[in-house]
Amino acid sequence: MEKSAKPRVVFAFVEAGLGHIMPMKAVCDAFERKYGDRAEVIRTNFFQDTGNANMKFVEDEFVKEVKKHNRNKGRGFWQFVLMDLFGSEFTLKYMMKKRYAAGYKPSLDYLTALKPDMVFNTHFATLYYSCEVKAAGLKNLDVTAYCPDPIIGNQWDRRVDFIGISSASGKELALRTRFNAPQVGEVPFLIRQQAETYTESREHYRRELGIPEERFTILLADGAYGAGKLKQTVLELLKSKQNLNVIAVCGKNEELYREFLTLKAPENICFLPLGFTDKMLLLSACCDLFMGKAGASNLAEPSYFGAPSIVTFLATPLEGWICDHYVKHVKCAVKETNIKKAVKLAQEWAASPQAMQQCREACKSQRRSDGPELLADVLWSRLEAKLQGEPG
């Protein structure tokens, strides 16, 4: 592969829940729109595009691990405890070179063959490979990343050249514990730019979905794999005597979706089950309340549209950090993992929406969609400075 006349920027997509894919796509779209005429943008489904079975195995294991975390909360807790105990460098080295050893060399070979000037990552695995490739010889490579969580956990390689984070307190903690000042930058959460196109009322988007426009609308989601407490929450909500719209997004959990299709809701409730969907922005724009797992986009998108959240499920300490951010710092969410109590609170808010007003007001601070553009500018600025500093 010949070196391109334009600088090559690799955007490494990883499937391990949509929390990594959506911010990656948002930044890649913004960068390509603004700088695509001056840089060669390379989008790669990193573990899939080569067809290498060992690389695919690594991603498949990540997906399995996410699902296991949803079923067994203690599993994720102990993994983070062990990382804290043994240190991130040892843990990452063990994970990527021992546990997933077969995928290590082909991943480095693939990344090297792409001849990148910059690699942008939203997942710790490709960040680790990028840092390894740079250490092995690609000295001029600029390794960049974005952490979609409010705290940069130990799974993020500290050799990164630059990592963005949307939380001021998270940036402060990162600089105090693991990173130097030039490495970390605060960037608004990477809401997709398409959010700006949803300018109509909630009622308008309910009509678009074919659900009663006047009813209090609750959006439920427990991540891309529809695990957690989604089924329990749906069954409890369907007991309600109030007039409600209940939208349940099952993601890639096809079994649960099929089961939901067989449920008979009472006349006072319009129940809309969905499988894997590209309508999450539309659903967030139509709802009054979000209930579910503390995923980064799960909470960010409803908040953008002014809908408070009730967090019912936390799979890992990482999701605990996300929950704390929205509950304690943004103050637009409530944590209630007891489903009966969570549904009772939802019904109280449905009966008296004014009780949600403080949370609704707090959501206003999250109504920013310029994060991808700003981060794209940072990436280009870094790339431009690096290239200007090279001989010739």
CA 310 to chain centre: 18
**Given the structure tokens 């403080």, which residue do they identify?**
358
| pLDDT(226) > 80 | no
| Alpha carbon distances (Å) from 221 to 47, 313, 351 | 26, 10, 22
Question: 296: how many CB neighbours lie within 10 A of its CB?
Answer: 26
Q: What average pLDDT does range 342-361 have in this prediction?
A: 97
pLDDT band at 391 (very low <50, low <70, confident <90, very high): very low
| pLDDT(84) > 80 | no
| pLDDT(153) > 90 | no
The continuous run of DSSP H or E covering 136 comes out as helix 124-136
Is-contact 330 259, C-beta < 8 A? Answer: no
The two tokens of residue 117 are 């000037």
**DSSP count for the chain of H helices, then E strands:** 16, 12
Instruction: List the domains of the chain with CATH numbers.
Output: 8-191+369-388 (3.40.50.2000), 197-366 (3.40.50.2000)
Q: Which residue has the higher pLDDT, 151 or 343?
A: 343
Q: Pick from 382, 279, 385, 372: which is nearest to 33 by CA?
A: 372
**Given the structure tokens 């600089």, which residue do they identify?**
175
pLDDT band at 113 (very low <50, low <70, confident <90, very high): very high
Q: What average pLDDT does range 373-385 have in this prediction?
A: 96
The dihedrals phi and psi of 79, each to the nearest 5 degrees, come to -65, -40
Is-contact 17 69, C-beta < 8 A? Answer: no
Instruction: Give Cβ neighbours of residue 153 (< 8 Å, ≥ 6 apart).
Output: 80, 83, 147, 317, 318, 321
The dihedrals phi and psi of 190, each to the nearest 5 degrees, come to -85, 70
Q: DSSP letter for 295, please.
A: -
Mean pLDDT of the chain, nearest integer: 90
The continuous run of DSSP H or E covering 216 comes out as strand 216-221
If 0-12 CB within 10 Å is exposed, 13-18 middle and 19+ buried, where does residue 188 land? Answer: middle
Is-contact 123 14, C-beta < 8 A? Answer: yes
**In this predicted structure, what is the pLDDT of residue 371?**
94
Q: Pick from 193, 45, 67, 195: which is nearest to 122 by CA?
A: 45
Q: Which residue has the higher pLDDT, 332 or 89?
A: 332
CA 20, 26, 31, 37 dihedral sign is: positive
The two tokens of residue 98 are 């021992």
**In this predicted structure, what is the pLDDT of residue 269?**
98
Amino acid at 212: P
| pLDDT(187) > 50 | yes
**In this predicted structure, what is the pLDDT of residue 286?**
98
| pLDDT(98) > 60 | yes
The two tokens of residue 323 are 């929950």
If 0-12 CB within 10 Å is exposed, 13-18 middle and 19+ buried, where does residue 391 land? Answer: exposed
CA 171 to chain centre: 18
Q: What's the rounded Cα separation, in Å, for the pair 181 and 143?
A: 16
**In this predicted structure, what is the pLDDT of residue 79?**
58
Q: DSSP letter for 346, please.
A: H
**In this predicted structure, what is the pLDDT of residue 241?**
95
Q: DSSP letter for 171, please.
A: H
Q: What is the pLDDT of residues 170-184, one digit of tens each?
A: 999 999 999 999 999
| pLDDT(228) > 50 | yes
CA dihedral (42, 48, 51, 57) in degrees, to 10, reads 140
Strand partners, 146: 164
Q: What's the rounded Cα separation, in Å, for the pair 326 and 366?
A: 10
pTM for the predicted model, two decimal places: 0.84
Q: DSSP letter for 92, please.
A: H
The two tokens of residue 247 are 């939208």
Q: What is the pLDDT of residues 293-330, one digit of tens each?
A: 998 888 999 999 999 999 999 878 888 989 999 999 99
Q: What average pLDDT does range 111-136 have in this prediction?
A: 96
Lay out the sheet containing 162-165: strands in order across: 40-45, 8-13, 118-121, 142-147, 162-165, 184-186
| pLDDT(77) > 70 | no
